[in-house]
Each structure stands twice: as structure tokens, then as C-alpha cells.
Structure 1
Amino acid sequence: MTPGTVVLVVAAVFVASMVRATFGFGEAVVGMPLLALLPIGLHTAISLIGLTGLTVALLAVITGWRHVDRPVLARLACATVAGIPVGLALVTLAPATVVGTTLGVFLVAYGGCSLARPGPSRLSRPGWALPFGFAAGALGSAYNFNGVPVVVYGTLRQWDPHRFRGTLQAHFLVSGVLVVTGQGLGGLWTPDLFGLYGLALPTILAATALGTMLHRRIPAERFSRIVHVVVIALGAVLVLNPA
């Protein structure tokens, strides 16, 4: 791998980390298309973004644990465990382009409807954390899209910005450990992975600090609308570049 490629990989990880630290989600949807443009293997890209998300989650939880909705976190985490083996099978059966396009269309439609008709939903009840968590485990272990179902559930719950970011990061920490372990056991780790991760780690730390600062500057009363706009944008990215 050439030095130029390494620099571009680190830059892609920086952008993905900053998006994740700012909004609490989105690093895979941003990072995977960027890495897909570079001459690195798909398994390396998937595992690198998995480790990146896990690192950002760990840093965020250290400072934001008091904002976590712990009963919901427990439900999400248990369901995620059940979904991970399904995802490892899914990655060999369903092409990433099909899954990415389907998720993209869903996100654009969901974000648009939420902006047009904001309000509570029956899907915001605590019990719905189970199917959303299951989907997070399956999509996370297969494509690093574990954030999509949990973000949707978090917006349905209408959490305030601190609860939204704190609970998402706590879930991503739990699911990230499981997903990264599952990726390793599933044979997705490559010889290039840990070298690239080590080189990218300083930029992940810098991006997390910058993203946290940006998050604190987002007005609470506008947070929900901004999140839905970001959801639509990420959905559009998936539709245009699903793999």
C-alpha cells in the first residue's frame, strides 16, 4: 500500500469519526463510500470502520455516561447479541449494494416524513427497542450499519440531545465490542487492518474532540430537525453509493 493511499485512508477515517462524534452516528455511511474509492479490500474497510466506531464510542461514553437511558440500553444490547450471527450470514447472502440502497431509500423517506409530520409514534415504546436492537446487530456485523436502526429508534423516542448522543454511544460501545469480535471470528480481519488503525488513531482522537465541541454548539431546540436532515443526507449517500 502506497503512502498516498495510507494518507487518504486516514483522512477518510478522520471525516467519519468527526461525523460520528458530532451527531452520534453516521461514520459507516460516510466512511464506507470514501474507503470504497481507495485500493483497499472490502473486509479491511469494514473492519477499520468497525474499530473506528468502537473507539469513538468509548471516548464518548467516558464523558457522557450519566445521560444514558439504561433500561433502553439493556434491551437494545440483548437484542443486538441475537442479531449478530444473522448479520454474519447475511453478508454472504445479500449484496451490500442491495442492502445499502434499501436502507438509503428508507432513511430518505423516514427523515422526510419526520420533518413533515413531527410527533410521537407507537414505535417509540420501550418494547420496540428489541426489534430495533436485533436489526442493529444484524446490519452491524454484516455492513457496519448498526447505527441506522438505533438512530431511527432514538428519534422516535424524541430524546433530548444529551440523552440521544449518550444512549447511542453507550449502545455503540456494547454493540461495537460484539460486532468487532464477530468480524474477527468471521474472518474479516486482514493483515493491513491494525497497521492502518494504528496510523489513524491520532486522527480519530482529534476528530472526536472536534466533533464533541461541534455537538455542544448545536442548539437543543434545533437538534431533532438537524438529525433528521442528516438522516436524509446519509440516506441519499447510500442510494448514490450503496457499497
Structure 2
Amino acid sequence: MTAEVIVLVIAAVFIGALMRAVFGFGEAIVSMPLLAMLPIPLQTSVSLIGLAGLTVALFTVFGGWRHIDRAVLIRLAAAAVIGIPAGLVVLRYTPAFVITFGLGVFLIVYGGYCLLKKTLSSAIERPLLNDRGWVLPFGFASGVLGSAYNFNGVPVVVYGTLRRWHPERFRGTLQAHFLISGVLVVAGHALGGLWTADALVMYGYSLPAILCATALGVYVNKRIPAKKFESCLYVIIIVLGILLLLPR
């Protein structure tokens, strides 16, 4: 890799880690599209963001551990274990341009959902999906999206929104899930042969940026209401998705 590419990779990882520390999620959603635009293999990007996400999770989970819904967390983890191999199969045997196109469509749909979720939540007078079994398909989807795209938090965000979780419970459970599923996803990447020398080297280069972004994000999160910036983040997600659909 050239020095310019290395700097751009580190910048993409830093921006993603900062979003994760400020908003509680969004790292892979921001970093993966940025990395997909650079001349590096998709598998290198996936394994790099998996390692970066696990690192951020280690530093952010402790603040909300008192508010974790442990019963839901266990079911999510159990279902994610089943979904992770399926995601690895998708990543290994699906052409890169198909995954990139799918990623773009997914970002547009997800960004649009997030822009509308406040309206949807206010329209729902009581929590949906009350049956405990509903958590299993969301956990499975988390495993599939986590191993293929590092989007292991997205299904949990959707589930928590429909269940109308209190913000503290939402953030605490989400961060704990990131930690557990992050370990499983990274292990899956390693066992699936996705780790490359370039990914490990870039992770080493990016580690100081990840630590700085995490510290800065925690600082910003405590002083600036993150909700005011969510709409901007979701618009950026949609724009990145559109860019991925354009011919390169």
C-alpha cells in the first residue's frame, strides 16, 4: 500500500470509531463504505473493521454494564453464533461487486429507516415483539451481517427500537452485544481465513487513531446531546450508500 492509501484507511477507521463512541453504534456503517472506495481487498476491510470494532467495544462497554438486559443478550449471542458461519459463506463465495452493491442498498434502506424511526416509535403506544422468541431471528441476522459486513449491531438497533427500550437499557445492551458478537465475529474471520498481513498491519497503524477516537467520542458524548447529530449521521449513511451504487 502507498502512504496515501494508509493515511486514508486510518482516517476511515478513525471516523468510524468516533461515530461509535459518540452514538453507540455506526462504526462499520461509516467505515466500510469509505474503505470500499479505496484500492484494498474487501476481505482486508472486513477483518480490519472487525478488529477495530472489538477494540472500541472493550473501551465502551463498561460504562453501561448496569443497564444490560442479560436475558436478551444471551439469546442474541446464541442466535448470532449460528448466523456467523452463514455470513462467512456469503462473504467468501459472493463476488465483491455484488457485496458492495448489496452494502449500498442496505445503507440506503437502513439510513431511511433511522430517519423515520422516531416517527415510528412515537406512533407505537406499546412495545412490539413481546414474545421472547422474536429476539432469535434478530440475533441470527446480527451474526450474518456481522461476519459479512461487520453490521452486527444493526439488527439489535431495530429490535430495541421496536421494543421501545429505555435509552440506558438500549445503549448498555447494545454495547454488551457489540463486545460478545465482536469476539465471535473476529474469531470467525480468523478461522475463516479472512485475516491478512495487510489487515493486521493496518490495524497496528490504526490502533492509536482508534484509541484517540474513542476518548474523544466519550468526551463529546458527555457534553453534546448526540440526538441532535443523529439525523446528520443518517443522511451521511444514505449518501455513502448512493455512492457505492455509482459506477467506479
Q: SS in structure 2 opposite 1:54? A: helix
The CA deviation string for residues 15-47 of structure 1, in whole angstroms up to 9 with x for no partner, is 110001111111111101211232322111111
| TM-score, normalization by structure 2 | 0.86
Taking only the aligned residue pairs, the percentage that are identical comes to 55
CA-atom RMSD in angstroms: 2.4
The CA deviation string for residues 80-116 of structure 1, in whole angstroms up to 9 with x for no partner, is 0110111111222372134223423432442344233
Match of 1:15 in 2: 15
User: Are 1:240 and 2:246 an aligned pair?
Assistant: no
| 2:102 aligns with one of 96, 99, 122 | 99
Structure-2 separation of matches of 1:229 and 1:124: 31
| 1:114 aligns with one of 112, 117, 132 | 117
The CA deviation string for residues 146-182 of structure 1, in whole angstroms up to 9 with x for no partner, is 1221111122233333322221111011111111111
Contact 1:29 1:238 in 2 (8 A): no
Contact 1:17 1:53 in 2 (8 A): yes
| TM-score, normalization by structure 1 | 0.88
CA-CA distance at 1:218 after TM superposition: 4.5
Structure-2 separation of matches of 1:44 and 1:64: 31
| 1:193 aligns with one of 199, 215, 219 | 199
Q: SS in structure 1 opposite 2:184? A: helix
Structure-1 separation of matches of 2:241 and 2:130: 25
| CA 1:143–1:81: 2 relative to 1, 3 Å | same
- The residue correspondences of 1:1-243 to structure 2 (distance < 5 A) are 1-91=1-91, 92-93=93-94, 95-117=98-120, 118=122, 119=124, 120-123=126-129, 126-219=132-225, 223=227, 227=230, 230-231=233-234, 233-241=236-244
Structure-2 separation of matches of 1:237 and 1:45: 16
Letter in 1 for 2:144: A
Gap runs ≥5 in structure 1? none
Contact 1:90 1:142 in 2 (8 A): yes
Structure-2 separation of matches of 1:89 and 1:200: 27
| CA 1:214–1:3: 2 relative to 1, 3 Å | same
| CA 1:131–1:232: 2 relative to 1, 3 Å | farther
